[in-house]
Chains A and B, each alone.
Chain A
Amino acid sequence: MIRILKQIFRTGIVTEPLPLDAKQEIEVVGLKMEEAIRKRFRRSITIRQVDAGSCNGCELEIHAINNPIYNCEKYGIHFTASPRFADMLLVTGPVTHNMEIALRRTYAATPSPKLVVAVGDCACNGGIFGESYASLGGIDKVIPVDARIPGCPPTPLQLMLGLTRLLESTEEQKSR
């Protein structure tokens, strides 16, 4: 136990403010995000991640925004196990033929109003897998998409900025 405590104190808090190049944007947008989350989502936004056919690259980066360095929970972003509790679906991968029905059902199980974010190049347009017998292409071929975060895979920073922008823009609009 003493070792665990020692390691915890030695490590300290490693969560970083977002780095300099993104700082300016974050100063403007980040505050608005917290503001938006506070107002629109009662201080916390709950996300359900759905892999609709990804190669697992995007999943690793979504994991990374939960790590202590990025610590997305400090902005009120929380990942949930069930679509029933979700405000937002974070969908990755080209939609495969075999996942199409599961994705539609997950979408249907998410209560309205809801947001859908396509994460990664494949989710935006099918990426290198294109459209074929097995891959239907981008997420918008199957369910309506509110925002896109391109990248192969998008870095944790790009993910956080993408989410921030979306939340900020929905601030003024009415969600579906």
Chain B
Amino acid sequence: MSILKDAITALLGEDVHFIEGYQYPAKVVFCSVPREKFVESARAMKKAYALLAAEWAADETSLGRGYGIFACYRWGSEYLIVKTEAPADDPAFPSLTKKFLPAYRFERQIQSLMGITPLDHPDTRPWIKFEDWPEDSWPLRKSFDASRPMPRVKGEYKWTRAEGEGVYEIPVGPVHAGIIEPGHFRFQAVGEDVLNLEERLGYVHKGIEKRFEALSWQEGFRLAGRVSGDTTVAHSLTFCMALESLAGYNPPERAHWIRALLLERERIANHLGDIGAICNDAAFAFMLYQMMRLKEMLLRTNHKLFGHRFIMDRVIPGGVAVDIGAEGKDEILSELARLSKDFERLVTIYEENPSLEDRVRNTGMLKPKRAREICAVGIVARASGLNLDCRIFNPFPPYDQYDRLELDVPVMISGDVHARTWVRVQEIRESIRIIRWILENMPDGAISVPFETPPPDKAGFAAVEGWRGEIIYWLQSGLAGEVNRCMVRDPSSVNWLGLERAIPGNIVPDFPLCNKSFNQSYSGHDL
């Protein structure tokens, strides 16, 4: 019983071919359609109210095929991946942008890095690939030699322009004023009102997806942990889960629970930092320093118990590298008691401050309709009325014990800075509760199983709710069981589009505030 499977069969009939035994876990439906039916399959998904979660391409020439183009759709707890193929001598596929907005950037990325043309795409400017890259540099192709530096060529990026009396332009970045990552924003404004915001990202493109192909599976989880340093637990966890599905083994129950514990600790730490930073950008520095103090408390406990402040490299393929004993449990419980008490006091201060309220309410609104259009995920989606959370819809233990855990997912509909802050506040409360529950109920046993090499020419998929939102990894093994492709989809890849849509109509000085409330990753997006 799968709604998406039924929907695609109803519209495409004989043309859709369901493939079993290639991609794992088996509950994620995998099917292929002919190239000319690719848009039709998107139409079927749109009719079934599915959202586009990711779109990517893989060079399968070394597997004796052409290029594979994949689109991953999500509806409720179902995932469906549609594959279509393009022969190596005709690398092109029909664009899905007119059906699903997030395909806009995914497809520009496919064209820029894999050299496969999305036909009928409204915007053919390169993305992540800069104008000074040689035209024929497609790093994700197998024929590309990634070890050598690239020469620079002359080129120009065509920005969106606005004309008219009194219209002026503000370029910002890539080197920003604060201690943050690089990216370029260009505003067209009249007076203080922003007419349009155009983002240009790609400055921190480190060639991560290509780098995965040069590393072994056992090294890969370390690289995954550095895709976005603030989300290290969730990224390495997603990578490991995809790898475990691919290789067909399951970590022990206790390892799952410890993973969930680390994931929730990462969520609390980052949300605390974000709430403080949002208030700071509304000139309420008091909150920043208070929140930073609480965050530091958490990071120190991490360092003491797990040996790393951000818990890097502690989630490994087959389990986890750290266990937690009775002392650790007490340590966390007493830390949470202190944290929770101080946090609640600060929340009251946040709520009772009218000058803060004036800045955060009705600012940077991403309407539910817009959020749905861009297929937003994570906190951004939940602040704009979309009830999405992988912990509920695609759970791993212990999240799958719905009746015992009773996970409460906050959803707001106003979509403004306040909504995004408030979703974080409620998630911190919930995470504190989950951690306490995990510590009380965690089963005993081993914390890891030995690594196994994946079988040749298979694929593995995983989706995990990191603190920003749903992270997706799709791994494909080559003929010798090596890494053929590692697709990374950070929540930022879709949510950055949300910022572009939330800004017009706001005043220029509110931009930092709005940007902070989204707080998307540059590194996770640029890869």
| B side interface size, CB within 8 A | 58
In the bound complex, do residue A96 and residue B230 qualify as a contact, i.e. CB atoms below 8 Å apart?
no
In the bound complex, do residue A155 and residue B303 qualify as a contact, i.e. CB atoms below 8 Å apart?
yes
| Smallest beta-carbon distance B180→chain A, Å | 6
Identity of the chain A residue whose Cβ is nearest the Cβ of B291 in the assembled complex: A67
B146 CB contact (under 8 Å) in A79, A133, A155 = A133
In the bound complex, do residue A133 and residue B293 qualify as a contact, i.e. CB atoms below 8 Å apart?
no
A68 CB contacts on chain B under 8 angstroms: 289, 292-293
A133 CB contact (under 8 Å) in B207, B299, B521 = B207
Of the stretches A27-35, A50-58, A161-169, the one at the interface is A50-58
B174 CB contacts on chain A under 8 angstroms: 99, 102
Interface flag for B509 (CB, 8 Å): no
Interface flag for B76 (CB, 8 Å): no
In the bound complex, do residue A54 and residue B523 qualify as a contact, i.e. CB atoms below 8 Å apart?
yes
Interface flag for A20 (CB, 8 Å): no
Bound Cα distance from A134 to B214, whole angstroms: 14
Most buried by A among B178, B207, B227: B207
Question: Interface of chain B, helix or strand or loop or mixed?
Answer: loop
In the bound complex, do residue B349 and residue A4 qualify as a contact, i.e. CB atoms below 8 Å apart?
yes
B293 CB contact (under 8 Å) in A4, A14, A81 = A14
B208 CB contacts on chain A under 8 angstroms: 129
Interface flag for B148 (CB, 8 Å): yes
| Smallest beta-carbon distance A129→chain B, Å | 5
| Smallest beta-carbon distance A151→chain B, Å | 10
In the bound complex, do residue A55 and residue B523 qualify as a contact, i.e. CB atoms below 8 Å apart?
yes
In the bound complex, do residue A54 and residue B203 qualify as a contact, i.e. CB atoms below 8 Å apart?
no
B230 CB contacts on chain A under 8 angstroms: 56-57, 60
Identity of the chain B residue whose Cβ is nearest the Cβ of A3 in the assembled complex: B349
Interface flag for B130 (CB, 8 Å): yes
In the bound complex, do residue A7 and residue B290 qualify as a contact, i.e. CB atoms below 8 Å apart?
yes
- 17 new A-B contacts, CB < 8 A, other than A128-B226, A133-B147, are A3-B352, A56-B521, A59-B181, A60-B273, A62-B179, A93-B204, A94-B206, A97-B205, A98-B203, A99-B174, A102-B174, A106-B175, A128-B222, A133-B144, A133-B148, A134-B206, A136-B149
**What are 5 A-to-B residue pairs whose CB atoms are below 8 Å?**
A8-B286, A55-B226, A60-B230, A96-B203, A99-B203
B interface vs A, CB < 8 Å?
A: 130, 133, 137, 139, 144-150, 174-175, 177-182, 202-208, 210-211, 222-223, 226-230, 232, 273, 286, 289-290, 292-293, 295-296, 299, 303, 309-310, 312, 345-346, 348-349, 352, 521-523, 526
A interface vs B, CB < 8 Å?
A: 3-4, 7-8, 11, 14, 49-64, 66-69, 79, 81-83, 93-94, 96-99, 102, 106, 127-136, 152-153, 155
